[in-house]
């Protein structure tokens, strides 16, 4: 092949890993055999590529997860411990390395690499420039749109709504909706992910023809709040999705689950439109297409919403890689443990950029091309959860895909779950397997949960944004 491959990275926010169009046996193993999602585009990528049903987020919160991905580092080394810190541009990223190797690096939507300052400039933040981006249409996440507008300093998406006369109505809706499943007053063309989709198609259509490129499309859904347009709501209104597990408000949660599905299916539709532009450019065969998410969503399981928790709904993510013309196996689902930041070395590997595999990031290419069925034995997810005026809560998760160990700084100190027989973590088997727990703890290099020096500063006051 004369030219290096391109990369189209479709990246959603808060898409839990079991809400995917897997084959029946995978869905049954994950406890969602009754889940029916209409995702023909992502399903098509799975049929023309490999899905990783055991993928986990290194840190189930937006900014830390995305920093880990950029740096190819696990949480303890990524330097972004919560949403209140920007990415450190002095830390090398796969973006800068692709740029240095001659790639045109660009992206659209919610990067969350400069989340802490609620500043996006003209839509191309200086941080992204310093990280090697040649072009970007950066924008806010869902609630960042509202916080920035509340400071009279709206970001790119908020400014667009303001110009169209919709910002105030959108702000009032988002501030008052809570967990409501009512439709947003916004028309379809002004809905955040639809706007990102249009910007992405425009950027893709204008990419240089004489350089390999990397384009990252950052959708803001299916992150809460559960805002969907009227047309999106109408498409799922009569559909029934599995109830949340171990949830006292399962009935009230059903409308929310409809909206969550509607957001996922809308992202699928938009992904199809973006891939069609790629096809029209004649570059489909020479492009690695990836779909993944930064973290999941509890979606009512165990009576919880959101991320930042060690539960499967929070840490388990989707991951699909499609490039049949480049040797990626088609129609495969790999169930071994992998981590989001493994995409870092995978991108570099296919770009022909020197990289070194290690615990932090492993290239998935051996799995994708059938040379191995796994690149790591265990996956790790960790987080420091700041709580104003209270002790810092931390957790570590270690999993081999079957067994999952959870260590906490508060509450039950250690729990062990058999995910093959108990995918929703209802039965703690820790007392029965002390040797397995001891072996898993060695991965963390300590006997107890995570204690990271210098984190005392994160215990006081936070504005948690999404």
221-270 pLDDT, tens digit each: 999 999 999 999 999 999 999 999 999 999 999 999 999 999 999 999 99
Distance of CA 220 to the CA centre of its chain: 10
pTM over 0.85: yes
* Mean per-residue pLDDT of the chain: 93
Q: Determine which helix (DSSP H) or strand (DSSP E) holds 339, and give its type and residue range.
A: strand 338-339
Q: Domain spans of the chain?
A: 6-368, 379-459
Question: What percent of the chain stands above pLDDT 90?
Answer: 87
Average pLDDT on 397-416 reads 93
439-456 pLDDT, tens digit each: 999 888 743 334 443 434
The C-alpha atoms of residue 228 and residue 235 are separated, in whole angstroms, by: 11
The C-alpha atoms of residue 218 and residue 115 are separated, in whole angstroms, by: 14
User: Going by DSSP bridges, is the β-strand pair 49-52/332-334 parallel, antiparallel, or unpaired?
Assistant: parallel
Please give the pLDDT value at position 53.
Answer: 98
Please give the pLDDT value at position 121.
Answer: 81
The C-alpha atoms of residue 295 and residue 61 are separated, in whole angstroms, by: 7
Both tokens of residue 191?
Answer: 């809905």
The model's confidence at residue 386, banded by pLDDT at 50, 70 and 90, is confident
**What are the two backbone dihedrals, phi and then psi, of residue 395, each rounded to the nearest 5 degrees?**
-145, 155
The C-alpha atoms of residue 281 and residue 183 are separated, in whole angstroms, by: 36
Question: What percent of the chain stands above pLDDT 70?
Answer: 95
**What are the two backbone dihedrals, phi and then psi, of residue 290, each rounded to the nearest 5 degrees?**
-125, 135
- pLDDT at residue 191 above 70? yes
Average pLDDT on 175-194 reads 97
Instruction: Give the right CATH number for 379-459 from 3.30.1120.10, 3.40.50.300, 3.40.1480.10, 3.40.50.720.
Output: 3.30.1120.10
Class of domain 6-368: alpha beta
Q: Which ranges in 281-364 belong to alpha helices (H)?
A: 312-315, 342-351
Both tokens of residue 1?
Answer: 């092949």
CA atoms within 13 A on the CB side of 383: 26
| DSSP secondary structure code for residue 4 in this structure | P
337-350 pLDDT, tens digit each: 999 999 999 999 99
Torsion from C-alpha of 362, 364, 367, 372, nearest 10 degrees: -20
């Amino acid at each position: 092949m004369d030219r290096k491959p391109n990369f189209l990275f479709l990246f959603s926010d808060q898409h839990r890993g079991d809400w995917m169009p897997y084959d029946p046996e995978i869905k049954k193993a994950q406890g969602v055999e009754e889940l029916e999602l209409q995702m023909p585009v992502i399903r098509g990528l799975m049929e023309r590529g490999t899905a990783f049903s055991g993928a986990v987020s290194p840190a189930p919160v937006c900014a830390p997860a995305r920093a880990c991905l950029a740096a190819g580092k696990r949480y303890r080394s990524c330097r972004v411990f919560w949403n209140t810190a920007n990415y450190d541009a002095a830390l090398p990223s796969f973006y800068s390395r692709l740029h240095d190797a001659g790639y045109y690096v660009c992206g659209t939507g919610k990067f969350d690499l400069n989340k802490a300052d609620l500043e996006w400039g003209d839509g191309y933040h200086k941080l992204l420039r310093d990280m090697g981006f040649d072009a970007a249409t950066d924008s806010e996440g869902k609630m960042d749109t509202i916080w920035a507008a509340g400071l009279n300093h709206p970001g790119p998406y908020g400014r667009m709504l303001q110009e169209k006369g919709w910002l105030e109505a959108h702000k009032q809706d988002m501030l008052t909706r809570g967990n409501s499943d009512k439709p947003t007053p916004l028309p379809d063309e002004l809905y955040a992910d639809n706007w990102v989709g249009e910007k992405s198609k425009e950027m893709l259509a204008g990419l240089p023809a004489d350089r390999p490129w990397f384009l990252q499309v950052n959708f803001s859904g299916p992150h809460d709040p559960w805002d969907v347009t009227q047309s999106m709501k109408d498409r799922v209104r009569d559909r029934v999705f599995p109830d949340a597990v171990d949830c006292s408000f399962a009935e009230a949660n059903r409308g929310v689950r409809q909206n969550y599905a509607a957001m996922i299916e809308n992202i699928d539709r938009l992904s199809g439109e973006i891939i069609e532009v790629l096809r029209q450019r004649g570059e489909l065969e020479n492009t690695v297409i990836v779909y993944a998410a930064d973290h999941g969503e509890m979606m009512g399981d165990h009576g919880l919403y959101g991320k930042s928790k060690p539960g499967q709904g929070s840490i388990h993510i989707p991951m699909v890689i499609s490039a049949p013309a480049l040797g990626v196996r088609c129609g495969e689902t790999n169930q071994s443990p992998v981590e989001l930041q493994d995409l870092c070395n995978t991108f570099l590997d296919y770009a022909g950029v020197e990289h070194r595999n290690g615990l932090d990031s492993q290239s998935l290419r051996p799995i994708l091309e059938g040379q191995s069925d796994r690149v790591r034995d265990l996956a790790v997810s960790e987080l420091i959860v700041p709580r104003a005026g209270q002790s810092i809560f931390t957790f570590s998760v270690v999993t081999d895909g079957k067994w999952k160990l959870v260590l906490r700084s508060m509450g039950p100190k250690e729990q062990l779950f058999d995910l093959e027989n108990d995918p929703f973590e209802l039965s703690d088997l820790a007392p029965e397997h002390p040797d397995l727990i001891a072996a898993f703890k060695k991965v963390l290099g300590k006997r107890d949960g995570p204690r990271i020096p210098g984190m005392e500063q994160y215990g006081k006051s936070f504005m948690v944004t999404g």
